Structure 1
Amino acid sequence: MELRHLRYFLAVAEERHFGRAAARLHMAQPPLSQQIRHLETELGVVLLTRSTRRVELTEAGAAYLERVRAVLAAVDDAGEVARRVAAGLQGRLSVGCVGSATYSLLPAMARRLREELPGVEVAFRGEMLGAQQVAALQSRDIDLALLRPPVGDPGIRVRTLRSDALIVALPDGHRLTARKRLSVTDLRDEDFVAHAARDSAMYGVVRRLCGRAGFEPRVRHEVMETSTLVTFVAAGLGLAIVPEPVAQLGVPGTIYRPLAGAGARIDLAVAVRADDESPVIEQATRVLFQVAASPLTSGPPQERLTGGEASAGRGVIIRRSPR
């Protein structure tokens, strides 16, 4: 028995006429009649009663028709699912986000993915430092990472998504808030709050910037999460150099100023496993680049920063990276 036999039977059962069924199937009537007789012989039951004018279903044929419809519908559905998965329109995806992307890019990305890829089940893990994301990619706990380069593992493929300006986060009332723009040299005698040295690309960026300015940053507190970092700044425990989108977190008591000078930028990149050719990842990456190019996700306006106001981030429910 083959699927074509079931489709032949379905056509005859619905048309109640061999001639009309043959026309519907684009075949001659004699071969169709022969195939139906072969099906009945294989099953060992009579499915149809035939007359010169009409074909009727036997009781066994009516029961068989119900199951045939279900089988063919399931086969068609399986084919559609396979095509959607192959096109990257259905499946599962786990995305990790560095802190600044969690608050600036994740909300818009989540909305766009729901709109364009409703058949893809997406899980987000926010506030993951770069080293954590690389480890999660290697262990296949996540499929796509939004992180700050560099990534030293050749098994991870990295594409630059955008370049973010660096800014200085200051406690409200700090003497440096009187300035509209700061240089790294202005921060020489200040206490710093920074992301953990072992896991964060930003820690290395801060050290390099300060080293070029001729001093070692006095890091008083190392934290794992961007929200904690900004909260520590607001509490007066130090200042921080952060990517511009961090201002969208909107923690009260924190003021932001642009950072002047060469090298005061940092890339945001998309990272995936080099051997992973999942169509879902390809579709999600396409959507992500579209979202990143939108003015609404490219960071707060400079005049807002120089005016001393932090832009509030949109609300989004995320799952914290487990410690």
Structure 2
Amino acid sequence: MRVEPRPDVTYQVVAREPLVAVLPSDHRLAAGSVVTPLDLASESIIGFSDVPHVLRAVVDDYLRDKGIDITPSHRIDNFAMGISLVASTRGIALLPAYVEPLLPWSVVSRPLDGEPPTIELAVGYRRDNPSPVLATFLSRINMLIEAGPAGVRRSG
């Protein structure tokens, strides 16, 4: 899960996932090996709504830091909606790389040039949960972190 401030949840970050540009497979930028921030300035960008507010902040901060001022053409609440809008509107979305296995043939991803923005993936739990299963899981969390999330491309 994403680390979202909740008073009753404790988080242990297990990975930092880079965001990638997700675009139509026949888009002119799909021919390149990377997408630069300046490439995004003239494109129709699909942004996030306030629901995934952590992702919205990561993308907004990235674009602002790169000097790119964009008003999204659409706003999404989830990845399926984002992938669908990329395919149907021919826009570009910045999504975590872990969505790459979900992309249909009509949509591709490209890494962002330079240091990409990242989203933290974490295990969230209630500290007051007495479950022995949770205790065993948490005692082995470092093994999970070292192994990395299954199917997720690790940066670095």
* TM-score (normalizing by structure 1): 0.43
Indicate if the aligned counterparts of 1:171 and 1:236 stay in contact, CA closer than 8 A. no
Q: Which residue of structure 2 aligns with residue 163 of structure 1?
A: 16
- 2:69 matches 1:216: yes
Q: Distance in 2 between matches of 1:270 and 1:217?
A: 32
Match of 1:251 among 90, 93, 104: 104
User: How many pairs are equivalent?
Assistant: 155
Which structure: larger Rg?
1
Q: Which residue of structure 2 aligns with residue 267 of structure 1?
A: 120
Q: Distance in 2 between matches of 1:286 and 1:177?
A: 43
Alignment of 1:193-204 (within 5 A): 193-204=46-57
- Which stretches in structure 2 are left out of the alignment for 5+ residues? none
> How far off is 1:232 after superposition?
1.3
What amino acid maps onto 2:70 in structure 1?
Answer: P
Q: Which residue of structure 2 aligns with residue 206 of structure 1?
A: 59
Alignment of 1:11-160 (within 5 A): 147-149=1-3, 151-160=4-13
> How far off is 1:162 after superposition?
0.8
Which is helix-richer, 1 or 2? 1
Q: Distance in 2 between matches of 1:283 and 1:301?
A: 26
> How far off is 1:262 after superposition?
3.1
Q: Distance in 1 between matches of 2:46 and 2:138?
A: 32
Q: Distance in 1 between matches of 2:139 and 2:33?
A: 37
Q: Distance in 1 between matches of 2:129 and 2:136?
A: 13
Indicate if the aligned counterparts of 1:164 and 1:244 stay in contact, CA closer than 8 A. yes
Q: Distance in 1 between matches of 2:143 and 2:153?
A: 18
Match of 1:239 among 80, 92, 96: 92
* TM-score (normalizing by structure 2): 0.83
What fraction of aligned residue pairs are identical, expressed as a percent? 23
Query: For 1:38-67, what per-residue CA distance to the aligned partner results, in whole angstroms no more than 9, with x for missing partners?
Result: xxxxxxxxxxxxxxxxxxxxxxxxxxxxxx
> How far off is 1:291 after superposition?
5.3
What amino acid maps onto 2:109 in structure 1?
Answer: Y
RMSD: 2.6
- Which stretches in structure 1 are left out of the alignment for 5+ residues? 1-146, 303-323
